[in-house]
């Protein structure tokens, strides 16, 4: 009997150990045909249990029914969509940060170009371009800082963009807005650096205009001739100014925030 609907009901008293004796009897009994069939069924059950356990361990998905698979697929799809959205967000952020939007990039280029221009003007980076070399030989020491300053102003007016004053074969000083020239003990002092004759200006700009500016009547070359000094101008297609000025760190001034429009 395998119908155990009354299984939990208390058994009628049949004496102690009866069940155990019956079990031993059954275990010792000779197999009949019916018991063989029961044994075969038990073997089938054991086989099925083992197979099922192994299948459960083996594969996660093949044993599932359609609705479960659909649910899992939904989960995976949803998760993938979420991750894709996250990836899109991160890519957006990255392109924003690295200047992906054209406005930001243009502003960055603008700022970089302006910074380069200012660096050349301030003399903090080397400069290169066409220009002139203007050498002044002053063996008698009659050329003072006033002549050199005139020459510098003349060259500035003629569109010179980067300037260097040097002793030929000696120290060189990059000229910036704050540069000063002073007479100094048989030579001149440029920003505190002592220079002696012969002096050499190296100027980047339109070489013909620069040369012409020095050669005007009553101009620098005339003055030099009056003072028994020699001036010679060489136009160069390519000139490099490598002397630099230190970058001063402003102690008090800070950049003021720009207007948004500017």
Among 57, 60, 67, 256, binds other proteins (CB under 8 A): 67
- Across the beta sheet with 187-190, what order do the strands follow? 181-184, 187-190, 193-195
Which of 57, 60, 65, 252 lies at the binding interface for other proteins (CB under 8 A)?
65
Does residue number 18 form part of the binding site for other proteins (CB under 8 A)? Answer: yes
Pick the closer one to other proteins by CB: 16 or 254: 16
Q: Is 57 in the site for other proteins (CB under 8 A)?
A: no
- H or E segment at 233? strand 230-241
Strand positions, DSSP E, 84-126:
none
Q: Which stretch binds other proteins (CB under 8 A): 1-9, 77-85, 118-126, 155-163?
A: 1-9
Shortest distance, position 75 Cβ to other proteins, whole Å: 16
| Beta strands 199-204; 162-167: pairing state | antiparallel
CA atoms of 90 and 82, how far apart (whole Å): 12
Q: Contact between 77 and other proteins (CB under 8 A)?
A: no
Q: Do 128 and 239 touch, CB atoms closer than 8 A?
A: yes
CA–CA distance, 2 with 19 (Å, rounded to integer): 16
46 or 170: CB nearest other proteins: 46
- Which residue, 226, 262, 248, is CA-closest to 124? 248
Q: Does 11 bind other proteins (CB under 8 A)?
A: yes
260 near other proteins (CB under 8 A): no
Q: Which residue stretch of 42-50, 95-103, 135-143, 180-188 sits at the interface with other proteins (rule: CB under 8 A)?
A: 42-50
User: SS3 for 81?
Assistant: helix
Using CB under 8 A, list all residues that contact other proteins: 1-4, 7-8, 11, 16-20, 22-23, 26-29, 31-52, 54-55, 62-63, 65, 67-68
């Amino acid at each position: 009997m395998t119908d155990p609907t009354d299984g939990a009901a208390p058994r009628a008293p049949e004496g102690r150990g009866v069940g155990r004796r019956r079990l031993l009897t059954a275990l010792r009994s000779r197999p009949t045909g019916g018991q063989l069939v029961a044994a075969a069924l038990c073997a089938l059950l054991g086989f099925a249990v083992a197979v099922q356990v192994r299948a459960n361990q083996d594969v996660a998905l093949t044993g599932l029914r359609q609705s479960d698979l659909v649910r899992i697929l939904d989960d995976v799809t949803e998760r993938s969509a979420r991750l894709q959205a996250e990836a899109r967000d991160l890519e957006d952020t990255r392109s924003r940060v690295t200047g992906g939007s054209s406005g930001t990039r243009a502003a960055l280029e603008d700022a970089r170009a302006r910074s380069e221009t200012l660096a050349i003007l301030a003399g903090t980076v080397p400069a290169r371009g066409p220009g002139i070399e203007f050498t002044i030989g002053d063996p008698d020491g009659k050329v003072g800082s006033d002549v050199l300053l005139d020459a510098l102003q003349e060259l500035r007016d003629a569109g010179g963009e980067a300037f260097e004053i040097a002793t030929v074969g000696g120290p060189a000083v990059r000229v910036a807005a704050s540069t000063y020239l002073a007479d100094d003990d048989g030579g001149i002092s440029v920003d505190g650096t002592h220079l002696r004759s012969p002096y050499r200006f190296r100027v980047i700009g339109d070489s013909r205009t620069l040369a012409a500016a020095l050669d005007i009547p009553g101009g620098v070359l005339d003055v030099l001739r009056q003072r028994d000094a020699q001036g010679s101008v060489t136009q160069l297609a390519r000139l490099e100014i490598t002397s630099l000025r230190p970058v001063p760190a402003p102690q008090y001034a800070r950049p003021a925030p720009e207007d948004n429009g500017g």
